[in-house]
Amino acid sequence: MKTNWLMALPAITMAAFTQGASAQTVTIASDLWCPYICSDKANPGAIIEAAAKAVALKGYKLEFKEIPYTRAIQMAEYGELDIVATVAEGNNGKLLQNEVPFGTSVYGIAQRKGAGLKLDSVADLQGKKLSVIPGYTYGTEIDAMITANPKAFDINTGDDPLKQIFLKLEANRTDLVIDDIVALNHRIKNEGFADKLEVKPASKQMLPPFKLFYAFAPTKPTTPDYMKALDDGLRSLKQSGELTKIAEKYAIILE
């Protein structure tokens, strides 16, 4: 789940997903969060594909840059890219949030099979090591704990921090990770972790679902046009049913 508590991070190799040949290019960046944001250029994830088709309706093409999430936020703040994918509603920091959400994110908890961990309150974290990713949001209470004492948590950075966490879970070097339940299930099922790891639904009382938005560079003169193109395009995709088809392609149910 993505929000905006920042740490300094190095840049990493970038990959691109584009549509069209000569249209004006809009740059969007994030770390991997498959099936929402994936490394496959032909199937770049639902959030990236939706954005590409949305802006294409206004004649733009989309270029995806795969970089650490907080690095993407910093680059957008400095006007070095156009869009960050994605932000939790109201957690856009200095960036500008668009109007039309992609969909809703629901939390899940990944742990070793048979661990039997639950997370109904922060008290359930007592004696447990929680792995977190800079820039992601873990609910109001846990976010405050991370901000106050980040050294108490297992911090993971880089281009694919969730995979790092899964490897740590397998090796008994951490206890749990909180993330979007669709992303957790997808990664565990498709990347060889299903024998050792499992996903449980999180308490919606403690970790309520939230809508996913795109965040734009605040100072670029092109931002108003790009944001309008994305919002208008998303509205059109929703009205035509195309957004639902994109989500279903990646086994995502829009709420």
**Ramachandran area for residue 119 (φ above 0: left; ψ -120 to 50: alpha; else beta):** beta
**What is the average per-residue pLDDT within 101-119?**
94
Q: pLDDT tier at 158 (50, 70, 90 boundaries)? A: confident
pLDDT of 43:
96
Q: How far apart are the first and last CA of the chain?
A: 16
Tokens at 231, concatenated? 């919002």
Q: Tell me: pLDDT of 141 over 70.
A: yes
Q: Tell me: pLDDT of 22 over 90.
A: no
pLDDT of 17:
42
Topology given in CATH for the domain delimited by 24-104+211-249: D-Maltodextrin-Binding Protein; domain 2 (3.40.190)
Asked if the domains 24-104+211-249 and 107-201 are classified in one and the same CATH topology, the answer is yes
CA distance 111 to 237: 36
Rg of the Cα trace of the chain?
18
- CATH code reported for the domain at 107-201: 3.40.190.10
Angle between helices 181-190 and 161-170 (to 10 degrees): 70
Q: Can you spell out the DSSP letters for 49-97?
A: HHHHHHHHTTTEEEEEEE--HHHHHHHHHTTS-SEEEEEETT--TTSEE
pLDDT digits (tens, 9 = 90+) for 31-62: 999 999 999 999 999 999 999 999 999 999 99
Q: Supply the pTM of this predicted model.
A: 0.86
Locate the domains of the chain by residue range. Answer: 24-104+211-249, 107-201
Q: pLDDT tier at 2 (50, 70, 90 boundaries)? A: low
- Residues in a beta bridge with 65: 29
pLDDT of 199:
96
- Whole-Å CA distances, 13 to 111, 141, 181, 211, 255: 30, 34, 27, 29, 33
CA atoms within 13 A on the CB side of 158: 8
Q: Tell me: pLDDT of 12 over 50.
A: no
